[in-house]
Amino acid sequence: MGAQLRVYKRRIRSVTATKKITKAMEMIAASRVVKAQRKVAASSPYATELTRAVTAVGTGSNTKHALTTQAETVVRSAVLLLTSDRGLAGAFNSNAIKAAEQLTARLEAEGKQVDTYIVGRRGLAHYNFRERKVAESWSGFTDEPTYADAKKVAAPLIEAIEKETADGGVDEIHIVFTEFVSMMTQTALDDRLLPLSLDEVAKESAPKGEILPLYDFEPSAEDVLDALLPRYVESRVYNALLQSAASKHAATRRAMKSATDNAGELIETLSRLANAARQAEITQEISEIVGGSAALADATAGSDR
């Protein structure tokens, strides 16, 4: 019985140490998600206004450009998947990977070749384990991405969209990331980054009844679009990286809170079992003492007779 009590105490110490770790990770994630939320809020207006500027140029001219013009026949598509470098975030990474795989399957069913670009070690490990080809990957900055990181990710995508498909270029770019809705809700989304759907963007960005202005472009609409293309891709990738970072921290906070709560419940259960084992041990010791005393009394009485 004493050995069983030692086992319970050892398990209680182990679970208590784990609970301290998960509680600390929960607090760290909670502080990081607030910072990430602020960065998302700060970057969203720039990305929105840049999209409106591109829409204005696209709708105000007849220029055919990779930013605004859909290819007649889409041969190859690029899919950028945003995951995290670390786990302990519940279903955050698996949901994003699942959305990317569904998007890839849909594009391939349409007869398109797919080049996959991945941000984050978790997504890269998933594809490497299944021996799937990855065009390019990045890692090491998913918790706190910067604009420089977004430029690094956007550079090969911009280069690919500017190339002819015969030379290894792509006709369209899709991005899969996790949108931060609230502390309790994060949604994996797939969105077409390029080319822009001008009609849909114009309807979303322009208030009802507003007449869009006419523009004159200097030196030309095509030059303006060439200048806006890298800025647009970089801003959208940066905003998506920030959304994913905020979502990851929120998912980690939720997962660590659940782990902390479970550890507390397990400690209570083990404490009850330890108390029961200790009570059984005490009862057994008392029974042995009483039994020994009774045997001694009987032996003494027998000798007196």
Residue 176 to residue 183: CA distance in whole angstroms: 20
Summarised one tens digit per residue, pLDDT across range 176-225 is 999 988 888 889 999 888 887 655 555 555 555 555 566 666 777 777 77
State what percent of residues in the chain have pLDDT above 90.
Answer: 36
Mean per-residue pLDDT for 255-284? 86
Amino acid at 48: T
Q: Which of 69, 56, 67, 68 is nearest to 211 (CA)?
A: 56
The per-residue pLDDT for 58 is: 67
The per-residue pLDDT for 52 is: 75
Kindly tell me if the per-residue pLDDT of 251 is higher than 80. Answer: yes
Residue 285 to residue 283: CA distance in whole angstroms: 5
CB 84 within 8 A of CB 93: yes
Could you tell me where the DSSP H helices lie in the chain? 2-59, 92-109, 121-129, 147-162, 198-205, 221-304
**Most confidently modeled range among 9-13, 115-119, 297-301:** 115-119
Distance of CA 160 to the CA centre of its chain: 26
Residue 230 to residue 234: CA distance in whole angstroms: 6
User: Cβ contacts of residue 66 below 8 Å, gap of 6+?
Assistant: 161, 162, 194, 195, 229
Supply the CATH classification number for the domain 23-257.
Answer: 3.40.1380.10
- Give the angle subtended at the CA of 235 by the CAs of 171 and 89, to the nearest 5°: 95
Mean pLDDT of the chain: 83
Summarised one tens digit per residue, pLDDT across range 276-286 is 888 877 787 78
The per-residue pLDDT for 279 is: 82
The per-residue pLDDT for 174 is: 93
- Number of alpha carbons in the 13 Å side-chain half-sphere of residue 110: 13
The per-residue pLDDT for 182 is: 84
The per-residue pLDDT for 302 is: 63
131 phi-psi bin (left φ>0, alpha ψ -120 to 50, beta other): left
DSSP code for 86 = -
The per-residue pLDDT for 188 is: 92
Summarised one tens digit per residue, pLDDT across range 52-93 is 777 777 666 666 666 666 777 888 999 999 999 988 888 899
Q: Which is higher by pLDDT, 216 or 100?
A: 100
CB 176 within 8 A of CB 189: yes
Is the bond leading into 213 cis (omega within 30 degrees of zero)?
A: no
State what percent of residues in the chain have pLDDT above 70.
Answer: 86
The per-residue pLDDT for 197 is: 67
SS3 at position 85: coil
The per-residue pLDDT for 203 is: 53
Mean per-residue pLDDT for 23-27? 90
Summarised one tens digit per residue, pLDDT across range 32-54 is 888 888 888 888 888 877 777 77
Sheet holding 76-82, edge to edge: 136-138, 113-119, 76-82, 172-180, 186-194
The per-residue pLDDT for 278 is: 81
Angle between helical axes of 221-304 and 92-109 (0-180°, round to 10): 140
Residue 303 — pLDDT band, cuts 50, 70, 90?
low
User: Cβ contacts of residue 164 below 8 Å, gap of 6+?
Assistant: none
pTM assigned to the model: 0.80
Kindly tell me if the per-residue pLDDT of 103 is higher than 80. Answer: yes
